[in-house]
Amino acid sequence: MELNGMQRPRRLRQSGAVRALVRETRIHPQQLVMPLFVAEGIAEPRPISSMPGQFQHTLDSLARAVEDSVDAGVGGVMLFGVPQEKDAEGSGATDPNGILNLATGFLAERFGDATVIQTDLCLDEFTDHGHCGVLDDRGRVDNDRTLERYNAMAIAQAEAGSQLLGMSGMMDGQVAAAREALDAAGREDVAILAYSAKYASALYGPFREAVDSSLQGDRKTYQQDPANRREGLREALLDLAEGADVVMVKPASWYLDVLSDVAEASTVPVWAYQVSGEYAMIEGAAANGWIDRDRAIAESVTSILRAGGDTVLTYWAIELARSLR
């Protein structure tokens, strides 16, 4: 066998030191965003059974969680509200005293610029039918009337003190509409994170428990078909043209091809959301002793960054950031 001149990639794997020296992808705490849930009318934080270790927070426990994420060096927090009352229009979403706006103001006052307070801008947590928009008289999600609700939400969240609005509703034209509404209100300073390529995924299952979702049916008329790769890029390019400050792909791990496409084409930061089902699958397998939990968490987040994500929304953000220090 002729071995002279043989390529030997193993040379660079011989020790931890050399592997660290040639490593291409690293996780930094500031690249992580912690999603947090705040519920109206509860006296104690309430565990979310399908997301072990995650809670519906009270205002007090929410503030402690944000403090933990700041201490751990996490880049920011993304807030979701769980209201007590829901209606067809999702009134709680635009009420300054609605739980999400209230919590945002509470945190903005306490934390100021010490972290980046971000809010979910979508109606599904606030509507009694559980859809991300308002319905027309035939029960279909009415795109353009929903934009009016989103615009009002954008203003309410900006006024409450949110710095980055996470537009997760997948309505056509939502970024352009909200940008225009914000600018007209003198809030050019508030940024928009577009959940650009958001797929109709089974991986949102645990989240539906987390926000006490009342959805019957599915979101397939607005969220994307998991089979479509090209369309993910199309959605991201549209959001770029509409003025998105950040674009996102969601879920993350099963959509790394889409993430890679978007990362290649984007002129703004590209984020990815490691969603509730991705979290639950690893936690569930680890609880059964079927997988090495810590390695699986680090590998999953590393892979999302390797595929081209700049920042990852992950329910492990605080824990992972701590472990990196």
Q: Which residues bind ligand PBG (CB under 6 A)?
A: 120, 122, 124, 168, 204, 207, 219, 275-276
Annotated catalytic residue, options 198, 271, 300, 320: 198
Closer CB to ligand PBG, 17 or 301, in the complex: 301
Instruction: Give me the residue whose beta carbon is nearest to ligand PBG.
Output: 207
**250 catalytic per annotation:** yes
Nearest-approach distance from CB 308 to ligand PBG, in angstroms: 20
Closer CB to ligand PBG, 201 or 266, in the complex: 201
Under a CB-based contact definition with an 8 Å cutoff, are residues 123 and 90 in contact?
yes
Nearest-approach distance from CB 2 to ligand PBG, in angstroms: 54
**198 catalytic per annotation:** yes
Nearest-approach distance from CB 15 to ligand PBG, in angstroms: 38
Alpha carbons 130 and 90: distance in angstroms, whole number: 9
245: tokens are 């400050």
Closer CB to ligand PBG, 23 or 99, in the complex: 99
Q: Residue 166 to residues 153, 180, 221, 285, 303: CA-CA distances in angstroms?
A: 11, 16, 20, 30, 23
Closer CB to ligand PBG, 200 or 286, in the complex: 200
Nearest-approach distance from CB 226 to ligand PBG, in angstroms: 13
CA proximity to 249, closest of 73, 241, 97, 231: 231
Annotated catalytic residue, options 131, 149, 179, 250: 250
Nearest-approach distance from CB 137 to ligand PBG, in angstroms: 24
Closer CB to ligand PBG, 40 or 120, in the complex: 120
CA angle 51, 53, 56 (to 5 degrees): 75
Q: Which residues are catalytic?
A: 198, 250
